[in-house]
C-alpha cells in the first residue's frame, strides 16, 4: 500500500494511464488510509461504496482509451461544497442532516474529468475559523507531530490534514481570507487560491460572497496545476464567474523565472514573525535570485488596514448569507410556541460561538447609523489595498511573503478571537484584492513543523504563479512526510 500512497497526483495519473496500477486498487489504498488515520478526524463522511463504483467506472475508461484528465484519482471534498445525495453540513449543527439534490459546479467539473470522491472533509463551521476548532463535530488534528495535538489551520483544516496524512491524493478547499493557504502552510502541503471568479461559487455554501473562492490543496505545485485545470471554468450560474479561458497550467511548470521581478513588501516583515519563518523567507529570496529573478523591495502601505477591513466586510456578508438558516426552508428546526421563538431557538442551538460572533458583528456594521461608519469605510479601504497591489504590479511580476506569522500551534489552548484572526494577517490582503496566491512548504522549524511561503500574482496570472512556485518548490526540495501520515 505504501508504494501507492507514495505517488503524488501527477505520478498516480501517469501510472493509471500507463495501466501500471488500477483506480480500484488506488482508491482502496486510500480508503484503508482513511481508516488508519481516522483519529485525526479529517473526514465527516466517507462514501466507500460510491468511491469503489466510480473507481470501477474509471478503470473501464482507462482500459478502453477514453481516460479524462483526472481519471481514477481519489480525492476528498471540503464540506462546504454541495454534493448530490451526499450529506453537506458546512461542519454545522444547523445543517447536520442536509443532503443536497444538486452538485456544486466545481465538484461536477472534477467528476466530469474522472476524479473519484472519497468523502467529505471537516472544516471550521461555515468556513469561519483559522484552527478547525469551530467544527461542530470537533477539531481536526494536524498529522505532522504524533506526540502533540497541533492545529491543521483553518478553515480548510480537514482538507489540508487529509492530504498531509495521505488519506486523500488531493482535496478541494475554499479560501475567503486565507483558508486554503494558511492550513496548507501548517500541514506542509501546497495550497492554491485562484483569482476571484476563476472557479464558480455555485453550489458552495456561502460565507462571504465577494471573497469566497475555491481552490486545490495538494502535495506539489504540479498537482495543484492539474487540479485547478479541472476545477476552474466559466459558469453562467454564477454572476461573479469570469468568462476567461483557463490556459493549461501544466504547460507552465518548467518555464523558469529568469528575468522576472519579485517584489518583497516591507510591510510583511513586522514584529511577531517566528525566527524560523524569517530565516526560510530570506532563503526563499536567495533561491529565487539564484534562479535568475530580480529581487525588488516594494511597499503596500495599506496592508495594516487589511485585517480590520476584512473583519468588517466578511462578517457583514456572512450575516446576510446566514439569514437563510431559519428553520423554515431547510436545515435543523427547534419547535417552539411562536415564530420568533422558533427562529431564536433554531439559530441559537444550530450555530456555534464563532458563527454567532460574526453574525452579530456583521449585523451591527450593516445596521442603520453604522453602515457608513463601518461597512462603507471598509469597502473604501479595500479599494485602496487593491490599488496598492495594482501600483506594485507595474514594477514587479510577483510578490513573495511568508504565508503565516507562526507555524502551527497546539490545539485546546484557548486563544482569544483577535489572536486567532491574526493568523490570516499575510493572506487577507490578496483576498481583499481578489488576487491569486499560493502557499508551498519550504522547510521545518526547530520543532519539526512545516513552514509555508506565499507567492501572490496579478489577477488571472495563474500560469505565471505556477511557474514561479515550481521554481521555488524545486529549490526548497521539501520532501518530508508527516509523522502521523499513513505509511
Taking alpha carbons only, the member of 459, 440, 445 closest to residue 408 is 445
- How far apart, in whole angstroms, are the C-alpha atoms of residue 404 and residue 316? 25
* Cβ-proximal residues to 385 (8 Å cutoff; 6+ apart), any chain: 300, 302, 303, 305, 306, 309, 429, 432, 433
Residue 192's alpha-carbon distances to 105, 393, 473, in angstroms, are 18, 20, 13
Report helix, strand or coil for 410.
strand
Report helix, strand or coil for 386.
helix
Residue 364's alpha-carbon distances to 261, 317, 343, 380, in angstroms, are 43, 12, 19, 18
Catalytic residues, by residue number, are: 78, 155, 179
- How far apart, in whole angstroms, are the C-alpha atoms of residue 443 and residue 106? 31
Residue 418's alpha-carbon distances to 2, 129, 283, 314, 432, in angstroms, are 41, 11, 30, 15, 19
Question: What grid cell was written down for 391?
Answer: 501600483
* Cβ-proximal residues to 87 (8 Å cutoff; 6+ apart), any chain: 44, 45, 97, 98, 99, 120
CA distance from start to end of the chain: 8
| 36 φ/ψ angles, rounded to the nearest 5 degrees | -70, -25
Amino acid at each position: 500500500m505504501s508504494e501507492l500512497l507514495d505517488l503524488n497526483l501527477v505520478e498516480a495519473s501517469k501510472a493509471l494511464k500507463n495501466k501500471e496500477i488500477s483506480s480500484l486498487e488506488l482508491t482502496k489504498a486510500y480508503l484503508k488510509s482513511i481508516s488508519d488515520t481516522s483519529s485525526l478526524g479529517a473526514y465527516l463522511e466517507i462514501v466507500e461504496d460510491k468511491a469503489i463504483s466510480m473507481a470501477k467506472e474509471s478503470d473501464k475508461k482507462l482500459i478502453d482509451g477514453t481516460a479524462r484528465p483526472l481519471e481514477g484519482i481519489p480525492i476528498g471534498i471540503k464540506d462546504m461544497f454541495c454534493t448530490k445525495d451526499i450529506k453537506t453540513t458546512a461542519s454545522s449543527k444547523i445543517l447536520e442532516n442536509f443532503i443536497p439534490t444538486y452538485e456544486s459546479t466545481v465538484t461536477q467539473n472534477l467528476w466530469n474529468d474522472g476524479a473519484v470522491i472519497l468523502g467529505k472533509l471537516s472544516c471550521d463551521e461555515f468556513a469561519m475559523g483559522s484552527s478547525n476548532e469551530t467544527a461542530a463535530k470537533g477539531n481536526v488534528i494536524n498529522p505532522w507531530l504524533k506526540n502533540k495535538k497541533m492545529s491543521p489551520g483553518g478553515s480548510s483544516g480537514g482538507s489540508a490534514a487529509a492530504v498531509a496524512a495521505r488519506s486523500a491524493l488531493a482535496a478541494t478547499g475554499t479560501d475567503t481570507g486565507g483558508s486554503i493557504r494558511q492550513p496548507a502552510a501548517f500541514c506542509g502541503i501546497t495550497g492554491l487560491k485562484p483569482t476571484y471568479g476563476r472557479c464558480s461559487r455555485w453550489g458552495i455554501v456561502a460565507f462571504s460572497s465577494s471573497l469566497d473562492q475555491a481552490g486545490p490543496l495538494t502535495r506539489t505545485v504540479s498537482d495543484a496545476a492539474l487540479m485547478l485545470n479541472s476545477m476552474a471554468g466559466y459558469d453562467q450560474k454564477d454572476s461573479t464567474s469570469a468568462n476567461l479561458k483557463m490556459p493549461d497550467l501544466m504547460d507552465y511548470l518548467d518555464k523558469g523565472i529568469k528575468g522576472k521581478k519579485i517584489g518583497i513588501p516591507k510591510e510583511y516583515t513586522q514584529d511577531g514573525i517566528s525566527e524560523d519563518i524569517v530565516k526560510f523567507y530570506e532563503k526563499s529570496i536567495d533561491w529565487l535570485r539564484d534562479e535568475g529573478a530580480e529581487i525588488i523591495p516594494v511597499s503596500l502601505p495599506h496592508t495594516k488596514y487589511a485585517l480590520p477591513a476584512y473583519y468588517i466586510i466578511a462578517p457583514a456578508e456572512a450575516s446576510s448569507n446566514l439569514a437563510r438558516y431559519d428553520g423554515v426552508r431547510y436545515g435543523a428546526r427547534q419547535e417552539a410556541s411562536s415564530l420568533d421563538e422558533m427562529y431564536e431557538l433554531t439559530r441559537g442551538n444550530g450555530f456555534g460561538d464563532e458563527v454567532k460572533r460574526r453574525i452579530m458583528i456583521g449585523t451591527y456594521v450593516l445596521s442603520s447609523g453604522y453602515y457608513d461608519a463601518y461597512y462603507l469605510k471598509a469597502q473604501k479601504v479595500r479599494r485602496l489595498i487593491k490599488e496598492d497591489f495594482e501600483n506594485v504590479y507595474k514594477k514587479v511580476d510577483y510578490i513573495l511573503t511568508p504565508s503565516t506569522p507562526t507555524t502551527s500551534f497546539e490545539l485546546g489552548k484557548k486563544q482569544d478571537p483577535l489572536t486567532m484572526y491574526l493568523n490570516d494577517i499575510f493572506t487577507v490582503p490578496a483576498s481583499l484584492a481578489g488576487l491569486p496566491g499560493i502557499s508551498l512548504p519550504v522547510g521545518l522549524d526547530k520543532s519539526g513543523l512545516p513552514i509555508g511561503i506565499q507567492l501572490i500574482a496579478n489577477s488571472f496570472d495563474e500560469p505565471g504563479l505556477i511557474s514561479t512556485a515550481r521554481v521555488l518548490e524545486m529549490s526548497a526540495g521539501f520532501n518530508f512526510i508527516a509523522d502521523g501520515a499513513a505509511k
